[in-house]
Amino acid sequence: MPIRYLIRLPDPAQARGSDPALSFTAQGAETFAEQLQEALRTQGLFERWRATQPEPDEVDPALGVTDPAATVVGTQHDLYIDLVVRTSIPGDVLRHRLRLLAGNRWEMRDVST
């Protein structure tokens, strides 16, 4: 069953991971939503991250789980962006992908079923 997550980017311009090759490149709510949705639906981000690890073959394959039905909707507010995520991906995997994309510049505001 999909879980609904409300993610806030308090300062969207700073919502970048430590590796530019893996982080958000978006500027607006719609593009942030598209990039996160792609990261949840496909293994592209996971595979790029795994390739940077010292022992790629030893990376837990559970971190690469995908949800082809995942949806993300972004809403622009005055100073921040809210992303509403609906996915069956486990919360720890979602948090891992968000850290890759946005570093620590995001907040989990709500979780519900």
Q: For tokens 């958000």, name the residue.
A: 24
Q: What is the pLDDT of residues 2-23, one digit of tens each?
A: 999 999 999 999 999 999 999 9
For tokens 């968000």, the residue is 98
- Which range marks the domain in which residue 68 is found? 3-112
45: helix, coil or strand?
helix
pLDDT in tens, 38-55: 999 999 999 999 999 999
| Contact residues for 73 (Cβ-Cβ < 8 A; gap 6+) | 33, 83, 84
d(CA 112, CA 101): 23
Structure confidence at residue 77 (pLDDT): 97
Q: How many domains, in total, are found in the chain?
A: 1
pLDDT tens-place string over residues 67-81? 999 999 999 999 999
> pTM (2 decimals)?
0.96
* CA 47 – CA 37 distance, rounded (Å): 16
Task: Write the single-letter amino acid at 97.
Answer: R
